[in-house]
Homo-oligomer: A and B are copies of this chain.
Amino acid sequence: MNEQVTAYLEEHHDRFLEELKDLLRIPSISADSKYANDVRLGAQFIHQQLESMGCDTELVETAGHPIVYGEWLKAEGAPTVLVYGHYDVQPPDPLDEWISPPFEPTIRDEHIYARGATDDKGQMFTHVKSVEAWLKTVGELPVNVKFVIEGEEEVGGENLDEFLKNNQDRCRADVAVVSDTAQYGPGIPAITYGLRGIVACEIHLQGPSQDLHSGVFGGAVANPVNVLARLIASLHDDAGHCQIPGFYDDVVPLTDEERQNFAALPFDDAEFAQSLGISGTFGEAGYSTLERRWGRPTCDVNGITGGYQGEGPKTIVPAKASAKITCRLVPNQNADAILASLESYLRGQLPPGIQLTFRRFHGCPAVVCDLNSPYMAAARRAVAVGFGKEPVLIREGGSIPVVGSFKEFLGIDTLLLGWGQNTDNLHSPNEKFSLSAFRQGILASAALWHELANNS
């Protein structure tokens, strides 16, 4: 790796951290329309960064939040890398569980705490800074780079897909790079070669036209909350197997080699449970915890609401109830088919007096990438440079829809180079990102441009 680059990274690291803090102060919550202006401020921040380091840029307007596009394409004959990230963040609720406020980045215990610290502002920013280092020292990059940084990752927006579909030439690349996953553990860097997909829906049950007195009417009308509970309960059997008809039909099972690899990773079920504050794990019978998280589909309720939720009792039969449900998918499962089956399964269980509204949200399929590609080899070397250790090859339980989109619209694989940790509280209060991971990630990214060029 170029010594000027590494020296620059060292010299400017404190500024990088201050800039990251500035970015984290922006409450770019894409799910909540009250924050639309802050989301735009997040986009403008990244746009300004790319522009000032010498990229050709555009703040691309969409039907929703803008996409930041930036390119540096002067490495003739070298491969082209598409760097993807997102500047939007999850809502910070519940607010009262944050030790320091979600949008006041705070350093403690060698971590930076803020909503978006690891997901994905802190991780995404490593690639911005590594490109800056090459351009400000060597004056050029070993590869061509195209940045696509979006603002709707946390809401599953469709505007990025729209952009990719309509800008296939502009976005054309040999491989994509995304840092929005995690290392396997502290001191165990990893490359993620598989992701679960996701499909989401909301179900709304309407019973009587208004809340009813539970004495005068209770027992004679279907109670929407009780019915909703029965519907949700019907999603699993006692052994944790999902009961949506056809749910497992298309599942590509884990190979014996994968199950052996997973079993060889350091993992302690009791420690895992303890870290989550629970007395034990629970899931589909016949699978280990890592298999359940990485290689098996799920059906989880994300939220439920209905009736009176204030203090004390209130003697009503609620008029309505609703729940948000997501299924995590594994390779070959069809999101649309599963939602259709779920809807019809639920409709088939409704008692008289209950009406179901079923709302589908956008989903994405699962992906598994080629472990033997030259890009994968380059990435393994770059991670080793940045983190001082060969990465393990793992799958992840989460979904990164864009990986499927890159495959679909650009025909390319994605290198998932995660600098975070699973204990970073992403989507939870007290989200954080390790200061050393921020430093190592920038170095690995800087090395990646070099290794990818050597490869071709």
Contacts and interface: CB of A to CB of B under 8 A. Distances in A.
Interface of A: 31-33, 90-91, 93-94, 97, 155-156, 182, 196, 198, 200, 202, 207-223, 225-226, 228-236, 272-273, 276-284, 289, 292-293, 296-298, 300-318, 321, 323-324, 326, 328, 351-355, 361, 396-399, 422, 425-430
A117 B215 CA distance: 18
B235 A303 contact: no
A310 B32 contact: yes
Contact of A198 (B225, B315, B428): B315
A181 to B, nearest CB: 9
A226 B300 contact: yes
Contacts of A351: 282
A269 to B, nearest CB: 9
A235 to B, nearest CB: 7
A428 B328 contact: no
Contacts of A229: 228-233, 301, 304
B226 A277 contact: no
Interface of A is mostly: loop
A428 B426 CA distance: 46
Contacts of A310: 31-32, 91, 93
14 contacts: A91-B308, A91-B314, A200-B313, A210-B429, A213-B398, A214-B328, A219-B298, A219-B328, A219-B397, A225-B323, A229-B301, A303-B307, A303-B309, A307-B324
Contacts of A233: 226, 229-230, 232-234
A79 to B, nearest CB: 30
A425 B210 contact: yes
A425 B236 CA distance: 38
Given A222-B282, A279-B352, 8 more contacts: A31-B310, A32-B310, A198-B315, A213-B427, A220-B289, A221-B283, A229-B232, A281-B352
A152 to B, nearest CB: 11
A216 B313 contact: no
A310 B182 CA distance: 27
Given A215-B398, A220-B283, A352-B279, A302 B318 contact: yes
Contacts of A94: 211
A251 B120 CA distance: 59
The 3 closest A-B pairs by CB, nearest first: A215-B398, A209-B277, A280-B352
Contacts of A430: 210
A446 B208 CA distance: 38
B312 A308 contact: no
B426 A213 contact: yes
